Structure 1
């Protein structure tokens, strides 16, 4: 029993493994076969220059397959569930007539205007509200049907009723005119926006130049201030140097003046020497005279000449002089002191006047 259960589990595990390994391959092959069937079906649906893909329950346009048949210029994609056209659809420039009526289209690609050969476009019973601006470039378009679409009022007015061939042709003409007006408005708005952006760029550049000019002026002012500061420092250094030189010069002049004053003082001090010599000579003469007189007086007093008549007046004078000298000793001393002080003051005043 245990062996049977074990074998059953092993078989189950093996089947699961094979499924996991083989399922992606089988799915890929199925997808490839499905795509191949599409191509084969597309070939089957081509009749001359027409491709009939209506009522195929398509949710997207087989753009790659259609591109393989450039001679198929008429494509019928009506009565499907297509919600949007891929951007690559705009590369099918060989298309002349396209029927997309009774689908679920909510918008068209922006480059729809690249379909330069498109003449007939049926968009009946979709969910379109607006058309791309490039729609105005469909210059070959001669027939257009936009009935039963929730179009915006301006576009709905231009599209009209489109109840017959004539009205559908008028719809193509008026819608192209309407879209060209919108294109002009868009171009004008774009030009205005570009002009505004250009003006803003100019203003930005002007502000940039103004900021650069301010920065340049600030750098220039800083350089000028730095130069002025260095100049002031240099002037201060030169002034200090000049002041030191002036002080040095004054000091030298002062020393020189002191030297000259010393020389003058020496000259002044040496100048009175002749006067002192004259006074000393005068004193010497007076001293000699006094000595002579003293010698005569001594001869007349101490020798035998005192009896002579010549010595009589001398003796009398000596006696009178001695008596007077005794009386005037103090006066003479004071007089000598006064003379000495006067002579000293005279010399000092003379020296001061010369200085």
Structure 2
């Protein structure tokens, strides 16, 4: 069925401000078609197979009277309270357990029928029997009061939930700030420790350089001192050298002289040269010397001993100077 045929059929069911859609075997409400006729304030949807009302149904704010009796409704849309002009609502013989909280906003509602619905106990008590006009009016008043109480309770619960969420958020923010403060303090402490570590390393390097420099100075002073000592030793050792050399030369000269004289004397006495004129005085001198030496044997022996001791001391002093 096309949209135009729907509109045409709907027009056929409009009489004045009323739309009669009862006994049409409907499973859903033709919301779009009804929205095209804002002057149709009374809608009869009774005796159909409607199970739910779409959310768009709540946009039909021009409705004043709605009959949904004898359907299969199990729930009503949450925004039903948007039907601010609704005064008469018939929900007889459906399958409703509860009403939406927004039902309390239907402040113009004067008439309500909830008979033959499996209502929850509190709502059933507020609805009453609704067997006549008076009871149905009372039903509207009491149900509105009941739903307002539920609305207030829901508002309080929502307020508590919001407060609880705000408190949780505040605690979360406080924990976050505390954690950030701890992290900041930890970073600050780490930086301080790192700075202290670098300072100690710097001081250690400075101390090491100072110790190295001091050791270098000590080594230089020690080297300088050792050099001065060596110079003194060289001076001390070098002084006696001329003396030792002179004595040695004199000793060698004296020894050579004695050897020469002894050679001349031996040649003059033991060779054919003893008859020569040159050897006569030499032989005479040797004989005189032997005679004198024999006469002076004790003195010579003592002189030889003294000379031997002097030579021995000279040799010992030489060895000591070398060591």
Which TM bucket (shorter chain)? 0.7 to 0.9
1:262 partnered with 2:230: yes
1:336 to 294, 310, 314: 310
Number of paired residues?
283
- Cα separation, partners in 2 of 1:340 and 1:92, compared to 1, 3 Å: same
Supply the distance in 2 between the matched residues of 1:73 and 1:321 (Cα, whole angstroms): 187
- Cα separation, partners in 2 of 1:70 and 1:337, compared to 1, 3 Å: same
1:135 partnered with 2:109: no
Question: Where does residue 161 of structure 1 map in the other structure?
Answer: 129
Question: Where does residue 36 of structure 1 map in the other structure?
Answer: 4
1:57 to 12, 21, 25: 25
Q: Is the 8 A contact 2:293 2:300 kept in 1?
A: no
- Cα separation, partners in 2 of 1:134 and 1:252, compared to 1, 3 Å: same
Q: Matched residue of 1:109: which SS?
A: coil
**Aligned pairs for 1:340-355 within 5 A:** none
1:126 to 91, 94, 100: 94
Question: Which deviates more, 216-225 or 155-164?
Answer: 216-225
TM-score, scaled relative to structure 2: 0.73
Deviation >4 Å, runs of 4+: 266-273, 318-321, 337-345
Supply the distance in 2 between the matched residues of 1:321 and 1:128 (Cα, whole angstroms): 175
User: For 1:152-192, what per-residue CA distance to the aligned partner results, in whole angstroms no more than 9, with x for missing partners?
Assistant: 01110111111222222221121111111211222222222
C-alpha displacement of 1:272? 7.6
Question: Where does residue 299 of structure 2 map in the other structure?
Answer: 325
C-alpha displacement of 1:121? 1.0
TM-score, scaled relative to structure 1: 0.67
Question: Where does residue 84 of structure 1 map in the other structure?
Answer: 52
Supply the distance in 2 between the matched residues of 1:123 and 1:320 (Cα, whole angstroms): 181
Supply the distance in 1 between the matched residues of 2:301 and 2:53 (Cα, whole angstroms): 167
**Aligned pairs for 1:195-274 within 5 A:** 195-266=163-234, 268=236
CA RMSD for the aligned pairs?
Answer: 3.6
C-alpha displacement of 1:245? 1.9
Where structure 2 has 5 or more consecutive residues not aligned to the other structure, the ranges are 248-280, 282-291
C-alpha displacement of 1:330? 5.0
Supply the distance in 2 between the matched residues of 1:83 and 1:266 (Cα, whole angstroms): 131
C-alpha displacement of 1:234? 3.2
1:116 partnered with 2:84: yes
Supply the distance in 1 between the matched residues of 2:175 and 2:239 (Cα, whole angstroms): 91
Q: Matched residue of 2:117: which SS?
A: coil
Supply the distance in 2 between the matched residues of 1:64 and 1:272 (Cα, whole angstroms): 141
Supply the distance in 1 between the matched residues of 2:101 and 2:208 (Cα, whole angstroms): 84
C-alpha displacement of 1:263? 3.5
Supply the distance in 1 between the matched residues of 2:137 and 2:152 (Cα, whole angstroms): 23
